[in-house]
Amino acid sequence: MNEANYHSGYAALVGRPNVGKSTLLNRLLGQKMAITSHKPQTTRHRILGIKSSPTGQVAYVDTPGMHQRGSKAMNRYLNRTANTALLDVDLVLLVCQALVWTDEDQIALDKITQAGAPCIGVVNKVDLVQHKARLLPYLSELAERYHFAQIIPVSARNGVQMDVLSDAVLSHLPLGEPIFPEDQISDRPERFFAAELLREQIVRRYHKELPYVTTVEIETFTEEPERYVIGAVIWIERDSQRGILLGKGGGTLKAAATAARQQMCEFFHTRVHLDVWIKVKRSWSSDEASLAQLGYSS
């Protein structure tokens, strides 16, 4: 480590829902840290992913999408969490989708303007643009919206321009010593990631509103020789949702739990025994106290 030219700091990934912030985080880190799906509002928590290299250390902060839809306590929590992430960071990455600009994109940009931190505009999903010449007027319009430190088109899904973005992020962070030990990858405990990996399967496998009225809580997490034994509860809001979650003969939930267990084995680098239960907490997503009890506190 060259201390005279070592950069370190916090960089927040901000934007509206479903622009690919979590996929971008995973690509920047070179490993899976945040769950992903095609459904908006998959990310519910602030997730810190730490990338250390010989030239610097970046503490990336993934955030829920800033949005104007819904008035539930959960919606308020998501926006509050995203807004809080803008405080005390050294750099902001505004993630937007190529050729798309919505009112919610503008909300995110307005919050960045209020925060006053340096900002890189990250134009994601360029792989979906067939004729790349169409990007030029979009990039010009984006540059007129804000005084960005840089604007970088990328594809988080395909890894396009990730090296360019990584180098740019590091160059805009202050000189200084590492904030975290070089072998640390997050500030979240292992049971947090266990809950997220199970919730990811629910979000991906179930349709309509079910993913939005479920959450996962890890009740037991025991480290045994050569394996983890994990007990998870899936919370729903109504008894009628239990049958949908289970599926015919319990097969749908069994498949989701099996896939989650496999993901946990890969993430924790050990064997995992996973038990899953379903419990009902009435209207938990609409109640601030219930949210706090289930770990939703910003």
Any idea how long the chain is? 298
The pLDDT of residue 294 = 93
298 found inside a domain: no
Same domain, 29 and 157: yes
β-bridge mates for residue 11, sequence order: 60, 91
Could you give the CA distance from residue 227 to residue 25 in angstroms, rounded to a whole number? Answer: 28
CATH at 284: 3.30.300.20
pLDDT at position 247, please?
Answer: 95
Together in a domain, 34 and 150? yes
Same domain flag for 165 and 51: yes
Enclosing domain of residue 80: 3-171
Find, among 56, 52, 50, the residue nearest to 2 by Cα: 56
How many angstroms separate the Cα of 39 from the Cα of each of 42, 202, 206?
6, 11, 11
Domain boundary among 171, 199, 222: 171
Query: Which of 122, 128, 256 shows the shortest CA–CA distance to 197?
Result: 256
Q: 164 and 59 in one domain?
A: yes
Q: What is the pLDDT of residue 1?
A: 61
Pair 154, 233 in one domain: no
pLDDT digits (tens, 9 = 90+) for 266-291: 999 999 999 999 999 999 999 999 99
pLDDT band at 4 (very low <50, low <70, confident <90, very high): confident
Q: Are residues 66 and 152 in the same domain?
A: yes
Q: Would you call 10 helix, strand, or coil by DSSP?
A: strand
For residues 7 and 111, membership in a common domain is answered with yes
Task: Say if residues 278 and 242 touch (Cβ distance below 8 Å).
Answer: yes
In this structure, the answer to whether residues 50 and 167 fall within a common structural domain is yes
Q: How many domains does the chain have?
A: 2
- Quickly state the pLDDT bin for 70 (edges 50, 70, 90): low
Residues 94 and 200 in one domain: no
The predicted model scores a pTM of 0.94
User: pLDDT tens digits for 182-221?
Assistant: 999 999 999 999 999 999 999 999 988 899 999 999 999 9
**Is residue 120 assigned to a domain?**
yes
CB 294 within 8 A of CB 250: no
**Position 71 pLDDT exceeds 70:** no
Same domain, 78 and 46: yes
In this structure, the answer to whether residues 32 and 101 fall within a common structural domain is yes
> Distance between CA atoms of 100 and 125, rounded to whole angstroms?
10
Kindly state whether residue 179 falls inside one of the protein's structural domains.
no
Residue 52 maps to a domain? yes
Q: Residues 194, 239: contact at Cβ < 8 Å?
A: no
Q: How many whole angstroms separate alpha carbon 24 and alpha carbon 154?
A: 9
